[in-house]
Amino acid sequence: MLCLKGTSNSFKGDTEEALKNYQDALQIYREIYGSDHNRASAIAIGNLARVYTNAEELETAENCLKVSMNILKEIGGQSDPDYIHFSSVLDKINKYKPS
């Protein structure tokens, strides 16, 4: 539910609330699974990257994507659909990131 609220708030442009929703969801996943090494956490971290990208915090977004992708790669490999999606997002960030 918190991830859905995060997505909704992100689309509304409410960056602060979206970040809070995703971070709260991530904390719950950590309590349930004991670490970030699970798909739910990887997706929440990747969604944080989207919010940071929209807020033009590209370094933070890039770091979140790399963490998310590393988890997804370990879980499902580079053919994992979410890994592929976040990889394309990372490519776009790198394309537009100031040198």
* CATH code of residue 27: 1.25.40.10
Q: How many distinct structural domains can be found in the chain? A: 1
Q: Per-residue pLDDT averaged across 13-21, rounded?
A: 93
d(CA 97, CA 86): 16
**Which pLDDT score is estimated for 11?**
86
Which pTM does this prediction carry?
Answer: 0.89
Whether residue 74 is predicted with pLDDT greater than 90 in this model: the reply is yes
- Structure tokens, 71: 């988890």
Q: Which domain holds residue 90?
A: 2-96
- Calculate the CA dihedral of residues 20, 52, 37, 82 and round it to 10 degrees: 120
Q: How many residues does the chain have?
A: 99
C-beta atoms surrounding 14 within 10 Å = 16
pLDDT score of 71:
95
pLDDT band (50, 70, 90) for residue 99: low
Tell me the mean pLDDT in the region 71-91: 95
